[in-house]
Amino acid sequence: MKNSLLIDMDTERDEVIKLSKSQDLAETIQDEETARQMVLDDLTTVCNALGTLIQLAHDKNYLSAERSSNMCINFLRDNFSNTVGGVESSEEKTEE
C-alpha cells in the first residue's frame, strides 16, 4: 500500500491538529465508499507510523515499548471511549 498523510500540530492556533493529503489525491474522492476506504487507509498509516515511533523510542532506550504503547492506548481510551466526536454514540446509549 502507498499512502500519504500529513499531520500538523500547532498548539498556538484554534485548530490544533490538521490532517491533510495531497491536492490531487483529495480530488479523487468521488463517493462515500472511496472516502471510507481512504479513512481506513489513513488510520492504518497512522497506526504503522505510531508503531515505528514506539519501536524507535524502545530501541534507543528513550521509553519502553510497553510504557509508550500503554500511554497511547490510555489516551485513546480516555478520549474516545463511549463517545464519538464528543457525543455519546447511539450504540452505547442502548446498552445503558
Domain ranges of the chain: 6-82
**Could you tell me which residue, 16 or 30, shows the higher pLDDT?**
16
Residue 18 has pLDDT above 70, yes or no: yes
Helix axes 65-80 and 32-59, enclosed angle (nearest 10) = 140
Determine the average pLDDT of the residues in 8-31.
83
Cα Rg, the chain, nearest whole Å = 17
What is residue 83's predicted lDDT score, i.e. its pLDDT? 64
What is residue 27's predicted lDDT score, i.e. its pLDDT? 67
Determine the average pLDDT of the residues in 17-42.
82
What is residue 91's predicted lDDT score, i.e. its pLDDT? 47
